[in-house]
Structure 1
Amino acid sequence: MKGIIFTEFLDIVESRFGLDVCQQMLDDAGVDGAYTAVGSYDHRVLVKMIVCLSKITGVSPEVLQEAYGEALFTRLLSSFPLDNGEKPNSTFSFIERVERHIHTEVKKLYANANPPQFDFISQTSALMILDYISARCLSHVCLGLIRGCVKHFNEDMAISMEPVNQDQSHVRFTLKLNAG
């Protein structure tokens, strides 16, 4: 997993919970917290930090992942490349761009990268059904990223998440624009 995910996680934890909680989380997880944005790290370390943070704060790991994903969206958006100056104008167009362009470019830049995959099942102007497939099983982070995207585009949208398998490495998201 790319280091930017780790560096942003630590920044978000520190800003939301304070430096003492962040340090306690690192100590409890048995990690030093020295990550670079361009480095590559084992995703299990991130999961371990989330579990430790959950124990410290009393907030469930799922809720922490969702809050992290939502905050991460805004931070990643600033580094989002525009192809031919075209800017996504909706949650649906943004998600399509992530799968069709960003994940493809990540694989080109980093031969050993294994980004999550979105399989688009069905789409209309008001409904998108997609499957999230990732060996890292961080579907709640993905849910938070989607929520952050919906907020960014100021859309009124119902989002549901249904696990396809038990370990949640395969999850189906249904995004439905509410009529308004």
Structure 2
Amino acid sequence: MHGTILTLLKRYVQTQYDHSTWVKLVELAGLDRVDFDHKNVYPDEHVYALVGHAAEMTGLPAGELHEKFGEYLVPDLMYMYQKLLRPEWKTLDMLEHTELTMHHQVRKEHAENSPPVLEVTRLGPNELMIDYVSPRRMSGLAVGIVRGLAVYFDEADRIDVMPTVSEEGERVRIHVRRR
């Protein structure tokens, strides 16, 4: 997992809870560091452990925490990749172009990074389907990012997000429609 995601996870926990909650999560996860370098890549197990213990502490399912974190990530992601984005893009356009813009850039900058491959099919001017497959089983993060984009573009009240997750959690099909 890219260090930027872990750095933002730390900030999310500190914002939603407090610093001591972050320190406790790191201890419970058995990690030897409280801070992560945004330029490095860390084992995915770090995120699994942190979110798993956060789920235990809060009583919320891990998938729901992934979604909330995904929503939280959007403003930072939009800022980090603003040079790759077109000003006229809105929610559906961002989703349609994520693979060839942001994910392409992440892979280019860090060969060891492997963001999920998104197969996006535009079904019409106001509708698309995202096929997300990842052995990381973090489809909730993708769903949260879709919802976060709708908020970011002030379209949350007009965007329907309908995820269908497989039992093993590796595959999610996200139907997104603008009303």
Say if 1:158 and 1:177, in contact at 8 Å, map to a contact too: yes
Q: Relative to 1, partners in 2 of residues 1:97 and 1:120: Cα closer, same or farther, differing over 3 Å?
A: closer
TM-score with structure 1 length normalisation?
A: 0.91
Displacement after TM superposition at 1:89 (Å): 2.3
Residues 1:89 and 2:79 are matched in the alignment: no
Displacement after TM superposition at 1:95 (Å): 1.3
Structural RMSD (CA): 1.5
Question: What letter is aligned with 2:162?
Answer: S
Q: Which runs of 4+ in 1 moved over 4 A?
A: none
Say if 1:88 and 1:94, in contact at 8 Å, map to a contact too: no
Say if 2:161 and 2:177, in contact at 8 Å, map to a contact too: yes
Matched residue, 2:50? 49
Secondary structure class of the residue paired with 1:154: coil
Question: What letter is aligned with 2:100?
Answer: R
Question: What letter is aligned with 1:34?
Answer: D
Q: Residues 31-180 of structure 1 correspond to what in structure 2 (within 5 A)?
A: 31=31, 32-83=33-84, 86-155=86-155, 156-163=158-165, 165-178=166-179
Q: What is the aligned length? A: 176
Q: Relative to 1, partners in 2 of residues 1:86 and 1:109: Cα closer, same or farther, differing over 3 Å?
A: same
Q: Which runs of 5+ in 2 are unaligned?
A: none
Say if 2:3 and 2:42, in contact at 8 Å, map to a contact too: yes
Say if 2:96 and 2:121, in contact at 8 Å, map to a contact too: no
Q: Which runs of 5+ in 1 are unaligned?
A: none
Give identity over the alignment, percent. 21
Displacement after TM superposition at 1:48 (Å): 0.8
